[in-house]
Structures are given as C-alpha cells and as structure tokens.
Amino acid sequence: MTIKDIARLSGYGLGTVSRVLNNHPDVSKKARERILAVVHEQGFEPNANAKYLKTQAQSSVAVLVKGSQNFLFAGILERVQDLFRNNGEEIYVAYLDEEADEVQYAVQLVKLRRPKGIIFLGGDLDCFRREFHPITVPCVLLTNDAHALGFENLSSFSTDDTASAEAVIEYLYRHGHQKIGVLGGNLAVEQISVKRLRGVEACMRRLGLPFAPKANHVPCRFSMADGYAAAKELLGREPDITALFALGDVIALGAMRAICDLGLRIPDDISIVGYDGIDTANFCIPRLTTVRQDAAELAARGVQTLLQAIHYKTTPVYETIDFELVERESVSFVETR
C-alpha cells in the first residue's frame, strides 16, 4: 500500500492526499474525511524517510482542538502551550471541525507522528468508546468526563455541566423568568452540550416551568453567526420568551446582536446568560452574565497529569473543576404573572 493507492481508492490527487497526511489546513472537510477513511480502512502507514525519522526522534505532545471558533478552548490552549514549553516540550496543535471524529484523527496521528501524549480539547464520548482502544500513549480529555469509559491511559478534567446549567435556570427563575429559551448544542451526540441540556430540562421540570425541546430550544454550532441565526429563529416563533440561556458565550454574543437587530433591549426586554466565562463576555454591552469555567485550572491540571503519565507509570485521574456563575448586566428581574 502506497500513497498512490490511497489516491486511487479515495478518488483524490497525490497532492491532496499528501496534504491530508501532513495535516495541512488547505484541504476541504469532505476530502480530508474521505482520505482518512481510506487510510483507516487500509491500515496505511507511510514509509519512513530520514526527515520523518528525525521527527519521530523529537516526538512532540499533540493537542487536538475540537472547533475553531471556541474562545474558551483558545484560552485553555494558550495556557497549555505555555506550560508545556516551560517544561521543555514541543507542541503539535491540530484544529478539527466541532463535528469531526477527533478519536479517528488521533488514531492516525499516533501512526504518523508518534506523539508522546495527547490532550483533547473537547470530545464526543461515543467516539472514545468506539475507537480509542488502539491508542496506547497517555491522553487527557479536557472539558468532558472520561471516568465512565475506564481507559487506563485516559484522564479527564471537566466542569459539572449538568449542575452549572441547573444553576443558570434557578438564577433566572429567581429573577422572575418563567419562559426561558435555550440556544446551542446537539442532542444527537454525546458531547458536553447534552449534559447542559439535561440540566436545563431537569431543573425546569422541578420548578414547574414549561420546556419542550422543539419549542424552547434551537440547536446550533458554537459560533457567533450560528448564535445569531438561532436567536432570531427562536424569538421569531416564541416571542413571549423573557430570557435566553446560550450554551456557550460565543453563541450568546451572536444572540445579543440578533436581539438588538430585532429592536429589543438587553436586559429590559429580554435577559441572556452565557456559558464559559471568556474574556470578551466582560467587554460587550451589556456585560454578559455567564458560567465561568476555570480555564487556568483545567490547563494546569491537564498538563501536569499528562507529563506525569509520560514520565512515570500512573493511574488515570478524573477531576471536576469548580464553576462560578458570574452576575453582570445582562439579566433583569421581571414581574411574575
């Protein structure tokens, strides 16, 4: 099996296949997924040349970032890079689409680059459950909980997404809000947004608030553009909503622009709460009330645990990092009816 065979089986040219194998960014999502699928099916491993052997000898730590527009991940990544460099480790960073299969990518990465260890920034637990078994290097998953998976080489550090989402709904309820809409997330996969949605639904039922996912919730990707579109859609069909809970600050920022374009005022006409605690949330108008995840602690614990696992025989670590509901200017009291 050669690179020419991969090109023939995938239907793409040698140049495109080469760029995918070398993780160049200038390749379409469709081409990358098709070529990596063929590589996976055929068990392809490239022939080692002198340059590749040199790369192997200087094996780096890999960081796989799921989603290119997640500001929380950008903050964590910056800290992770600094911590590794301070410990004399070189870093290889790859950005994946938020709907990509990060574990399939990691399996191929281990074959091609032989990293010392891998940090996953975000991840779908179902992908880990199905495909993680071939990976034997130490790994850490940040922002999702891998405890139930039981892999001996996979630690995790995460926020209690269910409890934090419940805290948001209780906060809005105490401010008199009874018709609450939710923006973001995807119920079809086992990602962190699902846990947040479970927390929302459980809390609203406990408080006796109406929540029908098809009416109160608009799924969307973690981006400002998608948050904008989702807010317009939800408020267009449910105009009596008094508060929005965006499952990511970046979604909330887009939603705030949509609210303004609809001729509504925050928080006079509608309140909004975000999630993540990114720096930008403290500088928008009005300042965004949000759930702050401790990016510095997530990065520090993740790097520390991976370095220990690389150099010593260790058992996996699973920790829940505290969250904080930061009250700012985007929520107001409403009179209950």
CATH number at residue 1: 1.10.260.40
Residue 275 CB coordination number (10 Å):
32
- Side-chain-facing half-sphere of 260: CA atoms under 13 Å: 11
Average pLDDT score over residue span 204-231? 92
Whether the predicted pLDDT of 58 surpasses 90: no
Q: How confident is the model at residue 39 (pLDDT cuts 50, 70, 90)?
A: confident
165 and 42 within one domain: no
**Quick one: pLDDT at residue 250?**
96
**Quick one: pLDDT at residue 48?**
45
What are the tokens at 14?
A: 């040698």
**Quick one: pLDDT at residue 50?**
38
**Quick one: pLDDT at residue 53?**
37
Average pLDDT score over residue span 260-288? 97
Is residue 37 in a domain? yes
Is residue 328 in a domain? no
Point out the least confidently predicted range of 42-46, 131-135, 164-168, 264-268.
42-46
Is residue 83 in a domain? no
Higher pLDDT, 11 or 121: 121
Q: Among 259, 278, 293, where does a domain finish?
A: 293
Residue found under tokens 């906060």 = 171
Average pLDDT score over residue span 25-36? 81
Strand partners, 119: 63, 140
Q: Among 293, 310, 328, where does a domain finish?
A: 293
Q: For the chain, give the mean pLDDT.
A: 90
Number of structural domains in the chain = 2
Q: How confident is the model at residue 188 (pLDDT cuts 50, 70, 90)?
A: low
Which range marks the domain in which residue 25 is found?
A: 1-47
**Quick one: pLDDT at residue 52?**
41
**Quick one: pLDDT at residue 214?**
80
Average pLDDT score over residue span 324-337? 90
Whether the predicted pLDDT of 25 surpasses 70: no
**Quick one: pLDDT at residue 30?**
87
User: CA separation (Å) from 141 to 111, 147, 237, 304?
Assistant: 20, 10, 38, 13
Is residue 289 in a domain? yes
Q: Are 143 and 122 within 8 A, CB to CB?
A: yes
- For residues 317 and 80, what is the distance between their CA atoms, to the nearest angstrom? 18
**Quick one: pLDDT at residue 49?**
44
Instruction: Give the burial class of 153: count Cβ atoms within 10 A of its Cβ; 0-12 exposed, 13-18 middle, 19 or more buried.
Output: middle
Q: Among 254, 270, 293, where does a domain finish?
A: 293
Whether the predicted pLDDT of 187 surpasses 70: no
- Which H or E run includes 154? strand 154-158
Higher pLDDT, 225 or 3: 225
Point out the least confidently predicted range of 11-25, 192-206, 293-307, 311-325.
11-25
Is residue 19 in a domain? yes
**pTM (two decimals):** 0.81
pLDDT digits (tens, 9 = 90+) for 238-260: 999 999 999 999 999 999 999 99
Is residue 62 in a domain? no
- For residues 158 and 146, what is the distance between their CA atoms, to the nearest angstrom? 9
Is residue 247 in a domain? yes
Average pLDDT score over residue span 24-36? 80
Strand partners, 183: 218, 246
Point out the least confidently predicted range of 27-36, 54-63, 83-92, 122-131.
54-63
Of 153, 146, 141, the closest CA to residue 314 belongs to: 153
Assign 116 to helix, strand or coil.
Answer: coil
Alpha-carbon torsion (37, 42, 48, 49), positive or negative = negative
- For residues 116 and 240, what is the distance between their CA atoms, to the nearest angstrom? 53
Whether the predicted pLDDT of 9 surpasses 60: yes
Q: What is the CATH number of the domain that holds 279?
A: 3.40.50.2300
